[in-house]
Amino acid sequence: MRCRLVVQLIAAALWAGQVAAVEVKSATYLGSYTWIEATDWFGGFSAIHLSNDGTYATFLSDRATLATARITRDGDAISGVEVQNRGPILSSMGRRLSGRAGDSEGIALAPGGGFFVSFEGVHRVAYYSSPEANAQVLPRPHAFRALDHNGSFEGLAIDGHGHLYTLPEKTRTARGDIPVFRWDGTNWSTPFNLPQRDRFLPVAADFGPDGRFYVLERSVAFIGFRTRLRRWDVSNDTPRAEEVLLETETGTHDNLEGLSVWRDDQNRLRATMISDDNFLALQRTELVEYLLPD
């Protein structure tokens, strides 16, 4: 009996320590904007990047279409999206991407110009010097081959050193954690793992202007979607101070898959997210914004 009691106390202490390691802070909802365009290319948005002032956006669909647009606001609320340019991103041979090869999911703008795109169907990350350029596919290490065929690189982010980070939606380590892969310009490595919590899966990532690592997660139910946003301080290849900023009930928002963290003209930290409507009439393309605590 005493041995059993000791085991129970140890387990309780470990559980309490795990819970205490996650700080819960509240993001403040600002508003949602339903974006509608009556064109065949429109929809399926899986990634978004906003300019530093939040007025210019780059969007990526999961059918290898890139679009740029002006964002207008009425106070804190988005009031319009004006598309300026759009077109396909290309393969390394200059051809239009389609099918599994064109399942583009994440985008990260490179500090020296151009941008990176992560792909889920054929697991890879590619660099584009411009929207019209051919893809320059980064090396694909052996670890990429073991990724889930429909659950690999949805999230893509770049830090202040120009290092690229990506993480799979479904594939986990032997301990059940989320592996994070980093490209330093020469090699891929796995500097750290993130804890898998509940049934949420990572679908987007970003390094905010505060230097912290943000991960947008999604949980799918028969009647809709749930959204969660977590962040970490990352130093010496170790994620610390995990915080849950947002966790919604089913149906609060549509299928949020893209994330961009930025500061507005009042120096407030914001998260802008976009939904993937899967090109279905029952869903919508929704831009959602929250204020984040510093």
Full residue range of the structural domain in which residue 167 is found: 23-292
Residue 282: other Cβ atoms inside 10 A: 7
> Is the predicted pLDDT of residue 15 greater than 90, yes or no?
no
Contacts of 165 (CB under 8 A, 6+ apart): 155, 156, 157, 158, 159, 180, 181, 182, 183, 205, 207, 213
Is the Cβ–Cβ distance between 128 and 148 less than 8 Å?
A: no
Decide if 234 is inside a domain.
Answer: yes
Decide if 12 is inside a domain.
Answer: no
Decide if 239 is inside a domain.
Answer: yes
Predicted pLDDT of residue 121? 86
Decide if 255 is inside a domain.
Answer: yes
State pLDDT tens for residues 111-160.
Answer: 989 999 999 989 999 999 999 999 999 999 999 988 987 789 999 999 99
> Is the predicted pLDDT of residue 256 greater than 80, yes or no?
yes
CA 251, CA 204: separation in Å to the nearest integer? 19
Predicted pLDDT of residue 151? 81
pTM of the model: 0.92
Domain with residue 281: its CATH number is 2.120.10.30
Decide if 96 is inside a domain.
Answer: yes
Decide if 40 is inside a domain.
Answer: yes
Cα 157 from chain centre: 8
Decide if 13 is inside a domain.
Answer: no
Decide if 185 is inside a domain.
Answer: yes
- Number of domains into which the chain is organized: 1
Predicted pLDDT of residue 137? 98
Is the Cβ–Cβ distance between 188 and 182 less than 8 Å?
A: yes
